A and B are shown apart, each in its own frame.
Chain A
Amino acid sequence: MKLSVDIEKKLTQFTMNIRMEIDQENVSILGPSGSGKSMALKCIAGIEKPDRGRIVLNDRVLFDSERGINLPPERRRVGYLFQNYALFPHMTVSENIEIALQNAWNRKKRVRELIEKFHLLGLEEAYPVRLSGGEQQRVALARMLAAEPELILLDEPFSALDGILREQMQQKLPGLLHGNNYLMVTHDMDEAYRLSDNILVMENGKMLAFDARERLFDHPPNLAAARILGLRNVSEAIRVQENMILVPQWGCFLECGGKQKVSHVGIRSQHVRISTSPGVNSFMCEIVRILEDRFTATLFFRLLIKRTRDVLLQAIVDKERWEYMKKGGHSLFACFPPDKLLLF
């Protein structure tokens, strides 16, 4: 599957503008709600019309504003999984799948194969209202594959599922779509990381970044993208000399490699180390608030430095380790490992 998209569309709040090339990969569009990511998907499927641009799928031009080409959705061969699955409520599971089949021959056999593949045996004659969320999603996927699309679009595919079911479907989805690449929209960065090779970060209709997932999470190209990718500790910074920056809001100097100019520094909560002994880039700190999860704790802390402004930083620590440190009653140090600092 090869997809090339370069489109622009004016929306009420902002102008959506995306440009990407996809070649045999699974891609996620990640962005907060209302960032125009679903609109991008709808434009590719042909449900919405971009104001300007070009969409090419496997050498087939789907849309080209200059040449006046705009294939209707029924001729694009682009599958679209809606957030609410949009099953046909008056048709049974089999009928929902059968209506999407392209060829006249072997229909019963094809339906049967899809029913088996998507674990829907026994539900053939059921109507959608009787199905659980997970079953509805599998019917919608089966129906989509019945139409033999060249490209699969998934709009927040797991938002209507909860808990275990969500995790199960996240595991199974790539297998169920075997051999088919997909383009997915989500606001959940973990979901995006789990399910895609490349991630496009979007905000207010603008593309902030588009890269392989590891590179993107390790070296976000800009601050806005980094924030969407989960960066919580951010401050302005000034380079004062080689290997040293000043962070006025935190009231400290930090050792860090390189000599390029910086405007901001950031560090992921997972990378801040809380310990009872000092080290490189470590400062005494005071824990202000704790948010406990089952196995980890998020510590909101303030550096005990005179010049510091009232800024709360956060660190995510292993809970057992935290319980152990708490018992000791020692002073605590927050450490910002130089190789984990993100510079912008």
Chain B
Amino acid sequence: MKNTGSRSFRVMLMTFDLTPLWISLKTTLVTTVIVFFLGIGAARWVMNLPQRVRGIVDALFTFPMIFPPTVLGFFLLLLLGNNSPLGQLLKGMGMNLIFSWSATVVSGTVVAFPLMYRTARGAFEQVDRSVIDVARTLGLSKRTIFMKILLPLSLPGLMAGTVLSFSRTLGEFGATLMIAGNIPGKTQTLPIAIFFAVEGGDMRTALAWVGLIMLLSLLCMVLQGLWSFRSKATVSGR
């Protein structure tokens, strides 16, 4: 009994199609990098806007967070689909976004961006105002202040935002399904693979994927924990 069990497990491992994992990892990594820069850039830009405009732009950037992912996916489909002006333009340039791998990155970016933007803004705002003011009176340029003072001092918050974005993208389902679909080996990410495995009654495969996702998320948390521990130690000089 035991023997056949382990053997069938080995067979399963050998025949197991790992492409959803690779697709998911590729999508999540690329998306996280894009969202990291986009979120930080947006946060910096919004912070320097005049008070009145700031509220409006802030609401605009936060909207994707409160919409259900399927609704977002629907809007993206309208915006980027073949019948939309933008879709036509992309088609003219020889690109078809909808139902391609790039679409998984687009949906991931839209869904994770507000998280990164929000945490980055929060991290920037909790930096002591007088530290920034004093840097300005010392004659440091805006760029130097941002790169050498604001960024390092908000690093723990930025890292938290990055981990949040990573996990959010890894788990993205609704919007991705709407604009990237479920094409095995091309756009089938882990969460989508789980859904279709369950739907097809293949509980074993689903379970394997679920375990893998949990492991990845756990790893993220541990890495972040270690990192924040280390950064705290440096700032307190020990």
Contact = CB atoms under 8 A, between A and B. Distances in A.
Indicate, yes or no, whether A interacts with B.
yes
Interface of A: 45-47, 72-80, 82, 84, 86-90, 99-100, 102, 126-127, 129-130, 143-144, 146-147, 149
Interface in B118-133: 128, 130-131, 133
Interface string B42-56: 000000000000000
Contacts of B131: 86-89
B13 interface: no
B164 interface: no
Contacts of B133: 45, 47, 73, 80, 82, 86
B128 A77 contact: no
Contacts of A126: 237
B66 interface: no
Interface stretch (B92-100, B136-144, B178-186): B136-144
28 contacts: A45-B133, A73-B136, A73-B137, A74-B136, A74-B139, A75-B139, A77-B139, A80-B133, A80-B134, A82-B130, A82-B134, A84-B130, A86-B131, A86-B133, A86-B134, A88-B131, A88-B153, A89-B153, A89-B235, A90-B152, A90-B153, A90-B234, A99-B138, A100-B139, A100-B140, A127-B234, A144-B138, A146-B138
B15 interface: no
B236 interface: yes
B149 A72 contact: no
A144 B128 CA distance: 18
B140 A130 contact: no
Contact of A129 (B136, B152, B153, B235): B235
Contacts, number: 72
A102 B136 contact: no
A129 B236 contact: yes
Contacts of B235: 89-90, 127, 129
Nearest to A47: B133
Nearest to B134: A86
A45 B138 CA distance: 10
Given A90-B152, A126-B237, A74 B140 contact: yes
Contact of B138 (A47, A89, A130, A143): A143
Interface SS majority for chain A: loop
Contact of B136 (A47, A84, A90): A47
Contacts of A46: 136-137
A193 B237 CA distance: 39
A77 B140 CA distance: 11
Nearest to B128: A86
A86 B131 CA distance: 5
Nearest to B144: A99
A90 B150 CA distance: 10
B137 A45 contact: yes
Nearest to B155: A90
Contacts of B153: 88-90
A87 B134 CA distance: 8
Q: Which 3 A-B pairs have the closest CB atoms?
A: A127-B237, A73-B136, A86-B130
Contacts of A80: 133-134, 137
A28 to B, nearest CB: 20
Nearest to B231: A90
Contacts of B128: 86
A188 to B, nearest CB: 21
Contacts of B141: 74
Interface in B85-130: 128, 130
A45 B133 CA distance: 9
